């Protein structure tokens, strides 16, 4: 059973539904004046959209399937993406 669970966790794929757009992110961050929010928005504008962020975030969150994907984990991964 352990090997089956390990296999399933190693081969799970994280995907996001909902067709996130740059306009939606701008709307979500409209009242967020934090440096973190501004940096992310700048990175997304530079990347000309959210596609790279969504793919990168899904890939990075794979590592947290075993320990848990929390708000803090997602926040840290978005911060790392915006700094890349």
For residue 6, what pLDDT is reported? 87
What does the pLDDT read at residue 66? 86
pLDDT at 44 over 90: yes
Predicted local distance difference test score (pLDDT) of residue 7 = 87
39 touches 53 (CB < 8 A): no
pLDDT surpassing 90 at residue 83: yes
Q: Is the pLDDT of residue 30 over 90?
A: yes
Asked whether the predicted pLDDT for residue 42 surpasses 90, the reply is yes
Task: In whole angstroms, give the CA distance from residue 81 to residue 84.
Answer: 5
pLDDT (0 to 100) of residue 57: 94
Handedness of CA 21, 29, 78, 45 (dihedral sign): positive
């Amino acid at each position: 059973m352990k090997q089956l669970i390990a296999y399933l966790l190693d081969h799970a794929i994280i995907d996001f539904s909902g067709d996130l757009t740059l306009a939606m992110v701008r709307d979500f961050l409209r009242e967020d004046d934090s440096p973190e929010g501004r940096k992310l928005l700048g990175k997304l504008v530079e990347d000309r959209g959210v596609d790279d962020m969504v793919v990168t975030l899904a890939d990075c969150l794979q590592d947290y399937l075993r320990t848990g994907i929390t708000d803090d984990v997602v926040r840290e991964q978005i911060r790392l993406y915006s700094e890349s």
